[in-house]
Amino acid sequence: MENLLNHVLIGIAVLFMFSASIFVHEFGHFLVARWRRMKIEEFAIGCGPKIFSRTRNGILYSLRVSPIPIGGFVKLPQMVTSEAVEGKSEPVPPAPPLSKIVVAFAGPLMNAIFAFAIATVIYFVGLPVLVNPSVIGHVDPESPEGKMGIRQGDKIVAINGKPVSSWEEVNTITALAPTNVFQVTIERDGATTNYVLTARAHESVGLKWLNLDPYQRPVVGAVEPGMPAEQAGLKKGDHFLSFDGVPVISQEHLIELVKKSEGKLSEVVVEREGQRLTLHVTPKYDPKTQRGRMGIVFAGGVYQVVRPGPLPWEQFASVWNKTIGALVAVMHSSKTGVRASDFSGPVGILAAMAVETKTDYRLALKFLVLLNVSLAFLNLLPVPVLDGGHILLAVIEALWRRPLNPRIVEYATNVFGILIISFVLYVTFFDFRRLPLLKAMFDRDVHVQEVATPPSGLSTNPAPAESVR
């Protein structure tokens, strides 16, 4: 009962945070539209049938519901609208282009202001950081990296000039870069050396990794009797090094690799009492989780809270770089392996937010910064239906000095609206396929520790085992 109540509270918190991001965006449009004395017919949260509505001062305030929460709107008949979403409006005099521009810009601006406010809170309350420093584990002396002089215990401090401190950062930069050749700065005993390393890609996964092993790896906490892991010879305390030829960088990464290898004999390399062992396992389908499983229990992960947290503008810069990096990676998908299907729709966003909320409220706030900065950026793209499209059309109208053909504008708006909704449904399909992975992340047992300074060394305290995988 207590567990159910906890899940309900997390669900309420997630919906509240997601709705807050939509509300501040639409409230920005609403405030500036009133300032510019434009006609406002409706202020709605959600896109679907109304479940609550109230009219005040000629404005209909409504709460709508749909299968997936895809947003909300302020119905402004003097702006370019989509009748498919907002319904028909009564004819009204056109608004000046300047009014359309400032009203459209107000939504993304409010998201940015909201994100900055949250980032400021994070700075004061601190931010949990996963203890996963970019320290290199075993290096084969006969490998190209070993022959260059790279050794176990070395630490990666920069890739292509970008500072890194964790394997998460190392692998994000490597995966998103439109190249497989990197200048890697490695530190040993206070001295740094630059190496030119070539990343390798895995055919079934598609993404790239450096041919280097992290020092810290997922650890087996227990083995389920009768499951493939036991049959393969895996034991408590084994450290996963690679699975099916891919270096394992996290518990979630291993779960994804195992899921894709259902029914396939796969090579597993583990470290046991200082020795590297090669085993073979065939993950089998689990009808409960609807994915391939080996049957192990992971040892738990550790977060350490750093106070103060990152400065607000540092958080903005981080989100901006990740957003741009992801878009560039998709445009060079043949080189990066990153595809549009790797993006998250509303279902994936809500699930990921639930994972962060369950782990620690500060991680949920961090995700909220990411969400709002991304909303601001994406809404400013010059695409009809989006705010950037409204701005572009208003600029064209101002330069042309006459209103645009309303039929053509409405047609373009509806076409792009359908395309965007189709894309949302497309990525949502893959969101559902990723739900078992997100559920595994939600169920994990993590430990948050308070520290005064950022963690720089390896965690030596063993964490208790978490739920079965």
Catalytically annotated residue among 26, 42, 145, 397: 26
Quote the tokens at residue 79. 């702006």
Tell which residue, 83, 85, 90, has the closest CA to residue 62: 85
Q: Residue 133: phi, psi to the nearest 5? A: -60, 155
Rounded Cα–Cα distance for residues 41 and 29 (Å): 13
Report yes or no: 170 and 156 within 8 Å, Cβ to Cβ. Answer: yes
Cα-flanking dihedrals φ and ψ of residue 156, to 5°? -80, 125
Phi, psi of 380 (to 5 degrees): -90, 0
Q: Contact, 168 vs 154, CB < 8 A?
A: no
Straight-line distance from the first to the last Cα atom of the chain, in angstroms, rounded to the nearest whole number? 23
CA dihedral over 241, 246, 249, 254, signed as positive or negative: negative
Number of Cβ within a 10 Å radius of residue 189: 6
Are 60 and 77 within 8 A, CB to CB? no
262 catalytic per annotation: no
Write the DSSP assignment of 355-419 as a string of letters: HHHHH-HHHHHHHHHHHHHHHHHHHTSS-TTSHHHHHHHHHHHHHHTS---HHHHHHHHHHHHHH
Between CA 175 and CA 242, with CA 442 as vertex, the angle to 5 degrees is: 40
183's torsion region: left (phi>0), alpha (psi -120 to 50) or beta? Answer: beta
Question: What residues does 306 pair with on adjacent strands?
Answer: 127, 451
Task: Tell me the C-alpha distance between 64 and 22, whole Å.
Answer: 13
Go through 128-151 and write b for each residue having 16 or more CB atoms within 10 A of its CB, e for each that does not: bbbbbbbbbbbbeeeeebbeeebe
Catalytic site residues? 26
